[in-house]
Amino acid sequence: MAFQLNRDLVGQIIDSLKTICDHDINFIDENGNIYASTDPVRVGDYHEGGFRAAQTGEIVRITEDQPDSDMRKGINMPVRHHGKTLAVIGITGEPEEVERYAALIRRIALLLIREHDIDIRDRAAGRQTDYLVRALIFKERLDAEYRDYVLGLHGITSVAGRWRTVVFDTGRQNNTGRQTAANRQNNAGRQTAAGRQNTSAKNPFRPDHYEAEDTIAETLQTLADQMENCLFTHLPPYLYVMITKEETIRRHAAEFDNLAAAFSERITIGIGSAETFSRQSRSYENARLAAGSSREYGRPVWIEDLDIEVLLHMVPKAAADYFVLKTLGELKEEDLDLLRTYYACNMSLQETADCLFLHKNTLQYRLNRIRKITGKDPRIFKDAAVLYTSLSLK
């Protein structure tokens, strides 16, 4: 392996894991040798399952104890970083029981590995970039000489022209697992019953949840590295922020589209307004607003794409909460989903019924039920405007 985990780092990982898992945990190298373990007796032993996981890069499950090879039932999950397997985490126990721990443990290990990686390779540049981005978007005091020094580390020689801030939000609050109305419309007629069941909320302990987030982080970093005139940092836990020139974003617009499509259930992307370099706090706020709206668009959202959302963003929270409670407070989540789909389909009864796999009469019944509860008829323009505004605020 090109990157070697030192004993101090492995010790940190082991100590962290002891607090969340009462099963034995092994760290296994690419040759199948256990080089760290919560069971000291096993250190130095050969582990066939760990070796297979290291060589294939895939999870290996052992369903029965194998005394001849000293393998115990459990999970062997590779830890991959920059496309390479750094180690294999083995956890003893019933595979179905310990698999969720393995995913969480790998996530912890990768966080520590990345922190260690930054410290030994890019400590100064990484922290200085982080400081510069934060100072720009949060309007903190910034020394011009220091600013130019950090920009020079990225080959940026001039801040002339217009710049934009891009926000990538991987927060679970944006990833409920429900399809947007637009996506439902695109998938109408070709989604099976089994497929509809798969849209249930994702379990954050499932391996694919952490694999997706790991992949997103690496993909974003790779994209930032390839873009000229680009500053990029992570705002834990869920935000990634990029500041780059207007023309650079335009040049890479297709890549942002592809990124949104590849991780459609895991990321929202907002692109802020074009401003001078020193006024990126405004662009950042606009990017956050756009990212918050991209759930409905299903693609990267430029602040220029928004209409009523810009005004609604200015509504005080107390007023917004009161308005939403007054108009939608008695509705169930299924009623809200129906309204979202209904308005996404331009209030077409037939298109909405097709998207939701409902009979048209059933749809009419449910709309009547919403009218009785709210006092607003979704089919009347004025009432529809009130309900749509409340949905947008919500």
Q: Return the pLDDT at 303.
A: 94
Per-residue model confidence as pLDDT tens digits over 171-221? 744 433 334 444 444 443 333 333 333 333 343 333 454 456 668 888 999
pLDDT at 393 over 70: yes
Rounded to the nearest 5 percent, the helix, strand and coil shares of the chain are 55, 15, 30
pLDDT at 230 over 60: yes
CB-count burial class (<10 Å; 0-12, 13-18, 19+) for 8: exposed
Q: CA distances (Å), 265 to each of 74, 109, 178, 213, in order? A: 30, 24, 9, 11
Instruction: Specify whether the backbone of 13 is left (phi greater than 0), alpha (psi in -120 to 50) or beta.
Output: alpha
pLDDT band at 383 (very low <50, low <70, confident <90, very high): very high
Domain covering 7-121, topology:
Beta-Lactamase (3.30.450)
Q: Judging by beta carbons within 10 Å of its beta carbon (0-12, 13-18, 19+), is residue 86 exposed, middle or buried?
A: buried
The answer to whether domain 123-312 and domain 317-393 are alike in fold is no
335 versus 97: which is more confidently predicted? 335
The DSSP line for 234-260 is EETTTEEEEEEEHHHHHHTHHHHHHHH
DSSP 174: G
Q: Which residue has the tokens 């999870």?
A: 59
Strand-pair category, 268-271 with 301-302: parallel
Phi, psi angles (nearest 5°) of residue 327: -95, -35
Q: What is the DSSP letter of 207?
A: H
- What is the fold, at CATH topology level, of the domain defined by 123-312? Alpha-Beta Plaits (3.30.70)
* Contact indicator for 59, 76 with CB cutoff of 8 Å: yes
Q: Where are the beta strands (DSSP E) in the chain?
A: 25-28, 34-37, 60-62, 74-81, 84-92, 163-169, 230-235, 239-245, 268-271, 301-302
**Does 317-393 carry CATH code 1.10.10.2840?**
yes
| 3-state SS, residue 170 | coil
What are the boundaries of each domain within the chain?
Answer: 7-121, 123-312, 317-393
C-alpha 338/C-alpha 141 separation (Å) is 47
pLDDT in tens, 309-338: 888 877 888 999 999 999 999 999 999 999
Among the residues of 177-303, which ranges form H helices?
Answer: 181-187, 193-197, 207-226, 246-251, 253-262, 280-297
pLDDT tops 60 at residue 118: no
Q: pLDDT above 70 covers what percent of the chain? A: 79
| pLDDT, mean over the chain | 82
Instruction: Examine the pLDDT at 18 and tell me if it is beyond 50.
Output: yes
Read out DSSP for 76-109? EEEEEETTEEEEEEEEES-HHHHHHHHHHHHHHH
Crossing angle of helices 381-393/360-374, nearest 10°?
Answer: 80
pLDDT at 115: 66
Q: Does residue 199 or residue 154 have the better pLDDT?
A: 154
Q: How far apart are CA 257 and CA 254, in angstroms?
A: 5
123-137 and 95-121 helices, crossing angle to 10°: 90
Model confidence pLDDT, tens digit, residues 28-86? 888 899 888 888 888 888 888 899 999 998 889 988 888 776 678 899 988 887 778 88
Q: Is residue 293 predicted with pLDDT exceeding 60? A: yes
